[in-house]
Amino acid sequence: MDIQILNPSTAECFTNLFQHIKLFTEYVNITFSKEKLYLQTMDSSRVSIVEIFLPHNWFQNYDLKNGENITIGINSTILFKVLNTRDKQQNIYLKYDNDNSDKLYIDFVSEDKTVFDKHFELPLIELDVDVMEIPEMESDADISLPSTYFAGIINQLEIFGDTIEFSCNEDKIILNSLSVESGKMTVNIDIEDITSYAINEGETMNISFSLNRLHNICMYNKLSKEVEIMLTNNFPMKITYPLNMDEAKMVFYLAPKISED
């Protein structure tokens, strides 16, 4: 396998995609097929699922050699350490050899001679993890807004509690966070001031999620200008960061908190 990322913005995006996976899982499988790079993982508490879709033409070179699917298991903390050493001018090269299938080779290379090339040999592991089929389903409410704006709100709400409640109807979106120790914070989002908002006619939603998990998801806000949120009563929230090409995206599913009442 020989994969090259030679576009600076694409290389930076790739780095950002994989840097924070360690917040969700210790080990991860990455699958390279003829059509795309695909990652799916679930956190240890089984509250959130992460997916990454990168079509083959998102890369400047995508050669699987014999054309067969390749799945590699890797330690997400080691991957974080490697990506953290990359300078922004450096291209990314990924290499894998079926004859030496317990290693992934990563090279960071730049034409700028003041930036030294870096070469890594990463140990791979065999993970026995099934890929879950996640069905497409109709949502009750769809929200699209600037990703940095949403991340800022979540960071502030987290100060006041560990649970966020989305209260939505046709006229308004209200976010609440509260705790006995810190009090309560409420954010009223004017639907005229966000990119788009759609909700089923007559629908009223009150659904709660973990603020800590949502905070981790929002650490990816630099991936795209917009974040797309799909809410469905009694089902996981779907959060999508669209990337700079059709079908290229990072997707999260976050299970709702169950009321103890």
Adjacency order of strands within the sheet including 205-210: 183-189, 173-179, 163-168, 205-210
CA–CA separation, 118 and 13 (whole Å) = 19
Q: What is the pTM of this model?
A: 0.94
DSSP string spanning the chain? -EEEE-SHHHHHHHHHHHHTGGGT-SEEEEEE-SSEEEEEEE-TTSSEEEEEEEEGGGSSEEE-SS---EEEEEEHHHHHHHHTT--TT-EEEEE--GGGTTEEEEEEE-S-TTS--EEEEEE-B----PPPP------SEEEEEEHHHHHHHHHHHGGG-SEEEEEE-SS-EEEEEEETTTEEEEEEE-GGGSSEEEE-TT--EEEEEEHHHHHHHHTTGGG-SEEEEEE-TTS-EEEEEE-SSTT-EEEEEEPPPPP--
pLDDT at 116: 96
Q: How confident is the model at residue 260 (pLDDT cuts 50, 70, 90)?
A: low
- For β-strands 91-95 and 196-199, DSSP reports them as unpaired
Q: What percent of the chain has pLDDT over 90?
A: 84
107-119 pLDDT tens trace: 999 999 899 999 9
Q: What domains does the chain contain, in order, with CATH numbers? A: 2-123 (3.10.150.10), 141-254 (3.70.10.10)
What amino acid occupies position 87?
Answer: D
pLDDT at 220: 96
210-247 pLDDT tens trace: 999 999 999 999 999 999 999 999 999 999 999 977 78
pLDDT at 244: 79
Say whether pLDDT at 90 is over 60: yes
Residue tagged 């291209």 (tokens) = 91
